[in-house]
Amino acid sequence: MPHKSRYNRFLVWKTEHVSQKQLLIFLSFLIGVLTALAAYILKSFIHFIQHILTSNLSEGVPYMYLAFPAAGILIASLFVKYVVKDDISHGITKILYAISQRKSFIKLHNVWSSIVASSITIGFGGSVGAEAPIVLTGSAIGSNLGRFFKVEQRYLMLLIGCGAAGAIAGIFKAPIAGLVFVVEVLMLDLTLFTVMPLLVSSVTAATFSYLVMGQKAMFDYSHNDLFELERIPFVIVLGIFCGFVSLYFTKAMLWTESKFKKMSHWQRFALGAVMLSSLIFLLPPLYGEGYETINTLIGSTHEFSSLLEGSPFYQFKDYGWSIPIFMMGVMLLKSFATSATNGGGGTGGTFAPSLFVGCIAGFVFSFVLNKVGGEYFPFLPTQNFALMGMAGVMAGVMHAPLTGTFLIAELTGGYELFLPLLIVSMSSYGIMRIFESHNLYSMRLAQKGELLTHHKDRAILTLMNDISLVEKDFQPVSPEMDLGDMVKVISSSSRNMFPVLDEDQKLMGVVLIDNIRNIMFRPELYKRFKVTRFMTAPPAIVVTNMTMDRVMTVFDETKAWNLPVVDPEGVYQGFVSKSSVLNVYRSVLVENFAED
């Protein structure tokens, strides 16, 4: 009780002395520090586990690397199943769902559970990335801090965005990418009011990361070849190629994921372990995040044959086409390795896999063109094109061309390639948009009508989906009632519409006063007409599982002001009126989108 009273006094003091804007700036700074600290802890845990597992292994025993990932997803799955007891996979999808449906509520355990599970998964060699888990961690920090300080509901969404921005900025040392990611992927509107908290979180997190992890860029890239304008057509073609690679990656991930969903816990683990171990045995670069492979491809050594070490194909390393063919196989199978890791019980994201696949796509593209058309085409530096491929595939998979551009520029320090990075990202995004209107993260929610978007009207209708708008004061009538009984019901009702229900409470039709006005004052007809004689079908029926966006479409199509509501089995629930929907629309608009 003393703790409770102190907390209450603190809230009173905060309300009296701290403005909402001051509180948000303070919280965004605090979120930046905490998310960067979480990113540092996650990275440290991953490296610690990797060191423990690999420090005592002899070079001639590669088979342990096949067992480690399987053991990792087993331990992570048991941790989630028996300790966390909640689904923590698809971190960014969970954030989108929290924003869209749960009033920006993310459970407290997400502050630490994703760090533990992903550290185990990736530390043991799971073929996933740490970025999506840390984004969920950052967003959970923002959500829970906001609720602790009793921030208004409309600002909780902003604090979740601050957590995500801080997480990206902290783990990648990329403050601009963190800000842009929130706008493009989490789809929060960027306004003069929201930009400052997001910037504070991003810059604070990146600064903290530079202090504790050094100023060196994440990838060891040295820019030796200046960009030449004659390469622009090839940059555009690379963007188109990356768009199709992004489409393949997304489709393969979703297809494999759907197969795992149909299995039991142990079936998922068995299949995931077998798939992952087999793929890593054949293609060792699939082990872990893949950042060593990226450093090899964008580095200055050009020792590409080292990528085949430990593989059954190493004996072909001196064959001229062995490198591109081998890396093409790695690129095509990475999505299945990632799905096997997550589907088998591991926890990780698709940030690192998309960077990995993009780097290989750019490398293979330039390597093959240099090999085939060296006499006819200008030389295409494989380092630069591998870098551009990273931006292209990330832009396509996430539907985020600016995030792809800024992230790669900040990750590598390759700002000299900013223009071609932007060209590749936009080209890839354009191709992807032709085939898929949503990115990998939001596709699941969009299919259910649960996705918050930049389209403000649709975003508000999405937020209204959980609000009960069904009116119950419509007097139901039986189909066997005669006109006389109908007149008695009308005399005691304030409505001019009456649902006709059968004995199972299922809707048969409606009675409108306007349709019986010419006979309702003729007593001689009271016994002659039954309700079934003058009832009519409603212009449309609303089902309780419809999205509010669909309900408004039905209202627009029918021009009706009142529509009956039934459950999926056809049982009558009440009526929904267009005026009530519009009233709630206005209140949600003020609550969630009004700016100070």
As a whole number, mean pLDDT of residues 390-403 equals 93
Checking if the pLDDT of 289 tops 80, the result is: yes
For residue 287, the Cα-to-chain-centroid distance in whole angstroms is 24
Amino acid at 423: I
pLDDT tens-digit series, residues 91-125: 777 777 666 655 568 888 889 999 999 999 999 99
Specify the pLDDT at position 354: 94
Checking if the pLDDT of 302 tops 80, the result is: no
Regarding predicted confidence, which is higher, 92 or 387? 387
Q: What are phi and psi of 573, to 5 degrees?
A: -120, -25
Checking if the pLDDT of 477 tops 50, the result is: yes
**Please, are residues 121 and 341 in contact by the beta-carbon 8 Å criterion?**
yes
Q: What's 563's DSSP letter?
A: E
- Which range among 32-36, 279-283, 433-437, 528-532 shows the weakest confidence by mean pLDDT? 528-532
Per-residue pLDDT band at 237 (split at 50, 70, 90): very high
**Please, are residues 379 and 222 in contact by the beta-carbon 8 Å criterion?**
no
For residue 489, the Cα-to-chain-centroid distance in whole angstroms is 52
Stated pTM of the model: 0.76
Specify the pLDDT at position 464: 46
Rounded distance between C-alpha atoms, residue 46 and residue 289, angstroms: 11
- Which range among 28-37, 217-226, 385-394, 476-485 shows the weakest confidence by mean pLDDT? 217-226
Checking if the pLDDT of 150 tops 80, the result is: yes
The number of CA neighbours under 13 Å toward the Cβ of 580 is: 16
Checking if the pLDDT of 7 tops 80, the result is: no
- Which range among 187-201, 212-226, 578-592 shows the weakest confidence by mean pLDDT? 578-592
What token pair was written down for 456? 């403000």
Comparing CA positions, the residue from 351, 349, 308, 306 lying closest to residue 330 is 308
Q: Helix 401-412 crosses helix 153-172 at what angle (to 10 degrees)?
A: 40
In terms of average pLDDT, the best of 100-104, 381-385, 443-447, 461-465 is: 381-385
Rounded distance between C-alpha atoms, residue 403 and residue 509, angstroms: 53
Q: Is 448 helix (H, G, I), strand (E, B) or coil?
A: helix
Checking if the pLDDT of 163 tops 50, the result is: yes
User: Which domains does the chain show, CATH number per domain?
Assistant: 2-213 (1.10.3080.10), 229-459 (1.10.3080.10), 465-593 (3.10.580.10)
Q: What's 285's DSSP letter?
A: G
Specify the pLDDT at position 422: 93
What token pair was written down for 133? 């888990």
Across the chain, mean pLDDT equals 83
As a whole number, mean pLDDT of residues 29-53 equals 93
- Which range among 66-70, 209-213, 275-279, 460-464 shows the weakest confidence by mean pLDDT? 460-464
Find all residues with CB under 8 Å of 465, minimum gap 6, and list them. Answer: 101, 449, 450, 547, 548
Rounded distance between C-alpha atoms, residue 240 and residue 539, angstroms: 47
Rounded distance between C-alpha atoms, residue 168 and residue 203, angstroms: 11
Strand pairing report for 507-512 and 497-501: antiparallel
What token pair was written down for 563? 């529509």
Specify the pLDDT at position 252: 93
Rounded distance between C-alpha atoms, residue 428 and residue 425, angstroms: 5
Specify the pLDDT at position 585: 58
For residue 337, the Cα-to-chain-centroid distance in whole angstroms is 20
Number of neighbours of residue 476 by Cβ within 10 angstroms: 15
Rounded distance between C-alpha atoms, residue 491 and residue 495, angstroms: 10
pLDDT tens-digit series, residues 533-548: 888 888 888 887 777 7
Strand pairing report for 562-566 and 542-543: parallel
As a whole number, mean pLDDT of residues 454-466 equals 48
Rounded distance between C-alpha atoms, residue 458 and residue 399, angstroms: 19
Specify the pLDDT at position 223: 66
- Which range among 24-38, 54-68, 497-511 shows the weakest confidence by mean pLDDT? 54-68
pLDDT tens-digit series, residues 213-228: 887 777 777 666 777 7
